[in-house]
Chains A and B, each alone.
Chain A
Amino acid sequence: MASDLDTTPVIATRREEATGFFQRMVSKGLGWARKNSLWQYPYVTACCGMEYMSVSSARYDIARFGAEVPRFSPRQADLLLVVGTINCKQAPILKRVYEQMSEPKWVIAFGVCASSGGFYDNYATMQGIDRVIPVDVYIPGCPPRPEQVLDGLMLLQRKIQDQQHKLIDRAQVPTLAQGGGERR
């Protein structure tokens, strides 16, 4: 596993160096805190949900990774677990849920249906959720074994640790309305 302290970018400009040390410490601290307290929103639609039940209960125990709290309100969650098939009717809802989550947020595509449409290569099924929302980790398998899911979760944790975290992020987040989508 990559070192938890290994967050310094290889090429640093002067300006980054000037503000670097304090920011880096904050970033590391925030990364550590965030990766170990993922609150997930299980967007469960189909068969993979049965494996999700297994992952979250006693034997595989997702609580070991600090991700055991399912929140069914997108505003309280920072990890969107898309578990199962997303079809064309479901896709706008998924996008809405994703947009309602507050930053920082991450997405895991759980199972091949969410990753790529799986073997449902037909008129109804969306060929992967990355057509509507960005995805951080793809977990293959139909359904994936719980071990695979935990592996995917650990990958995400590593990714979170290596990201730059800021105390306040003033950059504006693009929303559906700005992207030319429907407005209400």
Chain B
Amino acid sequence: MATDSHGMGGRDPQATPGSFGAGEPARPFEGQHHARGYEGALDAPLKGRQMVVNLGPSHPAMHGVTRAVVALEGETIVEMKLDIGFLHRGFEKSCENVTWGQCFPYTDRLNYVSSILNNVGFALVVEKLCKMEVPLRARYLRVLTGELHRICDHLTLVAAMGLELGAMTVFLYGIEARDLIWDRLTEICGARLTSNYVRVGGVSRDCPDDWPAKVEQTLARVAELRETIDKLLTRNRIFMDRTRGTGVISREDALDFGFTGPCLRASGEPYDIRKAAPYLVYDQLDFDVPVGKNGDNFDRYLMRMEEMRQSDRIVRQCLRQMEPGDIVVQDFRYVLPPKPQVYGTIEGLMAHFKLVMEGIKVPAGEAYSYTEAANGELGFYAVSDGGGRAYKLGLRAPGWPMVAALPHMTKGALLADLVPTYDSINMIGGEVEQ
């Protein structure tokens, strides 16, 4: 039963080793299977009827912004339709109205749980158009802060998943760890959540001197909390029963739907852009890519737990390998000159004025950059006509294919399994609805 790609949701007696009926084949069910069709000749049951239930848009399990219209037969989902657009904020159009540098705050708010990863993705596309080489230290800082934010993203997912399956403690631990990481990010970029840290050509500022040591201490505490969460959830019978074998998607289906990131890897496809097409300094770092097998909610949860450990490794390596140096390119067509030059030289003043008033002049052309964000492939497609603004900006949101596959994944499952499935694909309204 569990191998059925349509998820049999919590009915599988093999769900938990040691639980009642585990290891036995599914027993024949002697009752009435279905509201229609199986009645005995003498039964006179009430006629079943499909019920249509609206989940959302303001529903705690829908994370606020999606409306799911679910047709139910009993508790089984017969059909599900998604209605999105409740958080459409006109990202692409907004970016076409501002200079390239001013787009960064908008990218922060795409996947707002890991904004630096979005910043990096956008910076890479602009740098591709400008054919620019970024200094090594800036690349390290980008990877470092990005991986910190990846930990935040996964922590949030695990915390929210625990909360929605009834494990409030997990939520409190997860948020505590996330607050600690946010403190470190505040020290480096001034904001807790919407970092706006990366710039075209580098990053906005260097880290304070005592920062690396603090990061290591923070990571130690975060690891402690993460292992606590791991102990609370991973072998927890209720959690396993709710997540194993639910929301299953096979490897082929996942590929067909265009999954990327942890959700694809949970289905058994070892594809990670950080390994497949390394950008920044990922080719110099040593980390593993966890791959799952079943493609169910439990595997997707495990992927997140393991990726947090790997990100931890990456951050530590970055701290060790990083060397002092420039944090932005020294090219005043792209980067504001330092203040002494602005006030002391006419060239500096001119460059400052031009950059502030007109923005960066990106050469005409088009480019696509793809990076591994917390949910999968984050793609930016930019067209420039040589003016100071984006002529067209396109976004490939990593969460979008997963949301699109949701009706397929939950077909035939129980209504209660919709909640963990919705959690584990990690739909983030900001990026999916742009």
Question: Which A residues fall within an 8 A CB radius of B?
Answer: 43-47, 49-51, 53-54, 57-59, 70, 72, 84-85, 87, 89-90, 93-94, 97, 119-120, 122-125, 142-143, 145
Q: Is B86 part of the contact surface with A, judged by Cβ < 8 Å?
A: yes
Residue of chain A at shortest CB distance from B110: A47
B149 CB to closest chain A CB, in angstroms?
A: 12
- Name the contact of A54 in the complex, choosing from B58, B97, B112, B179 (C-beta under 8 A): B179
A122 CB to closest chain B CB, in angstroms?
A: 4
Q: Is B172 part of the contact surface with A, judged by Cβ < 8 Å?
A: yes
Residue of chain A at shortest CB distance from B434: A124
Residue of chain A at shortest CB distance from B178: A54
B403 CB to closest chain A CB, in angstroms?
A: 16
A59 surroundings in chain B (CB, below 8 A): 175-176, 179
Sample of 11 more A-B contacts, CB < 8 Å, known A54-B192, A124-B89: A46-B429, A47-B193, A49-B64, A50-B112, A50-B193, A51-B193, A53-B175, A57-B172, A72-B59, A87-B86, A90-B57
B113 surroundings in chain A (CB, below 8 A): 50
Residue of chain B at shortest CB distance from A45: B64
Q: Is B131 part of the contact surface with A, judged by Cβ < 8 Å?
A: no
CA distance A142 to B176 in the complex (A): 21
Flag B188-206 by CB within 8 Å of A: 1 or 0 each: 0000111000000000000
CA distance A81 to B193 in the complex (A): 19
A44 surroundings in chain B (CB, below 8 A): 63-64
Top-4 shortest CB links A-B: A47-B112, A57-B175, A122-B90, A124-B90
Chosen A-B contacts, 24 in total, with CB atoms closer than 8 Å, are A43-B64, A44-B64, A45-B65, A46-B64, A46-B65, A46-B87, A46-B429, A47-B112, A47-B193, A47-B430, A49-B64, A50-B156, A53-B156, A53-B175, A84-B87, A90-B65, A90-B87, A119-B106, A123-B93, A124-B89, A124-B90, A143-B192, A143-B193, A145-B192
A61 CB to closest chain B CB, in angstroms?
A: 10
B109 surroundings in chain A (CB, below 8 A): 46-47
* A46–B176 touching, CB < 8 Å: no
Question: Which B residues fall within an 8 A CB radius of A?
Answer: 57-60, 63-65, 85-90, 93-94, 97, 105-106, 109, 112-113, 156, 159, 171-172, 175-176, 178-179, 182, 192-194, 429-430
A133 CB to closest chain B CB, in angstroms?
A: 13
- Name the contact of A87 in the complex, choosing from B60, B88, B112 (C-beta under 8 A): B88
CA distance A178 to B175 in the complex (A): 44
CA distance A145 to B183 in the complex (A): 12
CA distance A113 to B292 in the complex (A): 39
A49 CB to closest chain B CB, in angstroms?
A: 7
Residue of chain A at shortest CB distance from B159: A53
A142 surroundings in chain B (CB, below 8 A): 194
CA distance A45 to B86 in the complex (A): 8
A47 surroundings in chain B (CB, below 8 A): 109, 112, 193-194, 430
A58 surroundings in chain B (CB, below 8 A): 172, 175-176
Chain B interface SS verdict (over half): loop
* B429–A72 touching, CB < 8 Å: no
A65 CB to closest chain B CB, in angstroms?
A: 18
* B179–A85 touching, CB < 8 Å: no
A129 CB to closest chain B CB, in angstroms?
A: 13
CA distance A125 to B93 in the complex (A): 12
B156 surroundings in chain A (CB, below 8 A): 50, 53
A84 surroundings in chain B (CB, below 8 A): 64, 87
CA distance A95 to B194 in the complex (A): 28
CA distance A147 to B86 in the complex (A): 28
B429 surroundings in chain A (CB, below 8 A): 45-46
Residue of chain B at shortest CB distance from A145: B192
CA distance A178 to B156 in the complex (A): 43
CA distance A90 to B94 in the complex (A): 19
CA distance A46 to B91 in the complex (A): 14
A149 CB to closest chain B CB, in angstroms?
A: 12
CA distance A44 to B66 in the complex (A): 11
Name the residue in B57, B58, B112 with the highest tally of chain A Cβ atoms < 10 Å from its Cβ. Answer: B58
Name the residue in B57, B86, B105, B106 with the highest tally of chain A Cβ atoms < 10 Å from its Cβ. Answer: B86
Residue of chain A at shortest CB distance from B180: A59
B58 surroundings in chain A (CB, below 8 A): 43, 72, 93-94, 97
Name the residue in B156, B159, B429 with the highest tally of chain A Cβ atoms < 10 Å from its Cβ. Answer: B429
CA distance A124 to B86 in the complex (A): 10
* A45-B64, A57-B171, A57-B175 known; A85 vs B193 contact (CB < 8 Å): no
A182 CB to closest chain B CB, in angstroms?
A: 17
* A123–B90 touching, CB < 8 Å: yes
